[in-house]
Amino acid sequence: MKRIAILGSTGSVGTQTLEVIAAFPDRYAAHSLTARSRIDLLEQQCARFGPRMVAIRDAECAERAKQAAGFARGGGGQPGQPGPSIHTGEEGLIEAVTHPDVDLVISALPGSAGLVPTLRAIEAGKTIALANKEILVMAGEIVMESARRNRVEILPVDSEHCAVHQCLAGQDPDRIQRVVLTASGGPFRDTAPEALARMTSKDALNHPTWNMGQKVTIDSATLMNKGFEVIEAHWLFGLPVSKIDVVIHPQSIIHSMVEMVDGSLLAQMGPTDMRIPIQYALSYPERLESPWPRFDITRNWSLTLDPPDEAMFPCLGLAYEAIRRGSSVPAVLSTADEMAVEAFLRQRIGFTDIPRIIADAMDRHLAATDLTAPVTLESIMAADQWTRTFCGEKLIAG
Ligand code: MG
């Protein structure tokens, strides 16, 4: 029995992870569930899955949960079993993922909130199934170095990186020519450039192929998600970004490709169903027969691949620039994007303001920072704080 802690159990990846756990009750159990503030859903999850621990980031919500009947019952609905212990704050998240009984941690908080809890889980020797790509964008060097030191495996849950992971099975990493990440292109792939500035959050949340959380859906519309994934692939597979390319593939059937030095292209394909990469990470290195819907590749599919329009979607180029500059610049990229996307979702800024704010933050940070200084968790957290202040003031000023 693998006992699983989920950082972000009420989010999109979190709820789909619980579906996978429910499909294989003899193999997986939810040991710890964590949420920021959605305690109604967390209460339902506790009643169904009977975790031993829950952590609620928001202290006020945690207090309310302590009064709620659903948490006290616990035990997966079995009478006589005590409810889960309830923890709060970042400390609570850390307790939930480092508990000695936890075997594997699903890291699925959006943005920077999962960084420290995931690092603590690595230090505690837990296998990490990583959905929170911002962790590698912000602090890839620190995370991967800690994983090496603690002999911890980091398994990608992101569908593209799960695809690359599968293509690389049995291959010599030195024989990789390049990795090609596929992007759906998001909802604005065919939008006229002059119309882009008028697009609303409702338009942007209407993703053509994948069902995901709000942050990653907006990031898909700007192509920042693909930029983050380039950085994620750089750290996960130890490749220079010059060997990582992006193609627009609107059907989202090919999840990514690896070109080897002999010219062979290996591709992984499948339905657009996040439960498949989640299940892959939970069961790795085994493969389990899954109950999810399939598609039939012998039908008349047409697959198209096109280069991305970097002038229309400048976020992709900003991500390449951030990782080439290195140091704390990718952390600024990630946090500025988090702030800009939140402002866009609240209708405070327009769609094309998102890359503008991120570029401004990067320029200002580059002008004021010594990029040759060693990267530490402190320098990353300081860059994160600086970016929050800079973007906050900028957003207030308009
Ligand atoms: Mg992805």
Residue 73 is predicted with a pLDDT of 65
Query: 222 alpha carbon to ligand 1 midpoint, in Å?
Result: 13
Per the DSSP assignment, residues forming a β-bridge with 393 are none
Query: 159 alpha carbon to ligand 1 midpoint, in Å?
Result: 5
Query: 43 alpha carbon to ligand 1 midpoint, in Å?
Result: 29
Query: 229 alpha carbon to ligand 1 midpoint, in Å?
Result: 7
Q: What is the pTM of this model?
A: 0.94
Residue 384 is predicted with a pLDDT of 96
DSSP β-ladder status, 254-260 and 244-248: unpaired
Comparing C-alpha atoms, which of 339, 309, 312, 317 is closest to residue 134? Answer: 339
Cα–Cα–Cα angle for 278, 282, 287, rounded to 5 degrees: 95
Q: How far apart are CA 128 and CA 121, in angstroms?
A: 8
Comparing C-alpha atoms, which of 388, 16, 335, 352 is closest to residue 204? Answer: 352
Q: How far apart are CA 240 and CA 235, in angstroms?
A: 9
- Which tokens hold the place of 242? 């010059």
Q: How far apart are CA 113 and CA 7, in angstroms?
A: 10
Query: 256 alpha carbon to ligand 1 midpoint, in Å?
Result: 10
> What is the tens place of the pLDDT at every residue in 257-266?
999 999 999 9
Instruction: Determine which helix (DSSP H) or strand (DSSP E) holds 44, and give its type and residue range.
Output: helix 39-49
* 251 Cβ contact list (under 8 Å, min separation 6): 209, 301, 302, 303, 304
Residue 122 is predicted with a pLDDT of 98
Query: 23 alpha carbon to ligand 1 midpoint, in Å?
Result: 23
- Which tokens hold the place of 25? 């009750």
Query: 149 alpha carbon to ligand 1 midpoint, in Å?
Result: 27
Residue 75 is predicted with a pLDDT of 55
Q: How far apart are CA 198 and CA 176, in angstroms?
A: 42
Instruction: Determine which helix (DSSP H) or strand (DSSP E) holds 302, and give its type and residue range.
Output: none
Q: CA Rg, the chain, in Å?
A: 21
Query: 160 alpha carbon to ligand 1 midpoint, in Å?
Result: 5
Residue 123 phi, psi (nearest 5)? -65, -25
Query: 247 alpha carbon to ligand 1 midpoint, in Å?
Result: 13
Query: Tokens 């569908």, residue?
Result: 159
- What is the full per-residue pLDDT of the chain (398 aa) written as tens digits? 999 999 999 999 999 999 999 999 999 999 999 999 899 999 999 999 999 999 999 999 999 988 887 777 655 556 667 889 999 999 999 999 999 999 999 999 988 899 999 999 999 999 999 999 999 999 999 999 999 999 999 999 999 999 999 999 999 999 999 999 999 999 999 999 999 999 999 999 987 777 778 898 999 999 999 999 999 999 999 999 999 999 999 999 999 999 999 999 999 999 999 999 999 999 999 999 999 999 888 988 899 999 999 999 999 999 999 999 999 999 999 999 999 999 999 999 999 999 999 999 999 999 999 999 999 999 999 999 999 999 999 887 76
Instruction: Determine which helix (DSSP H) or strand (DSSP E) holds 55, and give its type and residue range.
Output: strand 53-56
Query: 84 alpha carbon to ligand 1 midpoint, in Å?
Result: 33
Q: Is 98 helix (H, G, I), strand (E, B) or coil?
A: helix
Q: How far apart are CA 181 and CA 167, in angstroms?
A: 12
Query: 338 alpha carbon to ligand 1 midpoint, in Å?
Result: 17
Per the DSSP assignment, residues forming a β-bridge with 56 are 35, 88
Output the CA–CA distances (angstroms, integers) from residue 244 to 181, 256, 318, 320, in the order listed.
7, 11, 15, 10
| Ligand 1 ion: nearby residues, β-carbon < 5 Å | 158-160
> What is the tens place of the pLDDT at every residue in 169-213?
999 999 999 999 999 999 999 999 999 999 999 999 987 777 778
Q: Is 389 helix (H, G, I), strand (E, B) or coil?
A: helix
Query: 93 alpha carbon to ligand 1 midpoint, in Å?
Result: 24
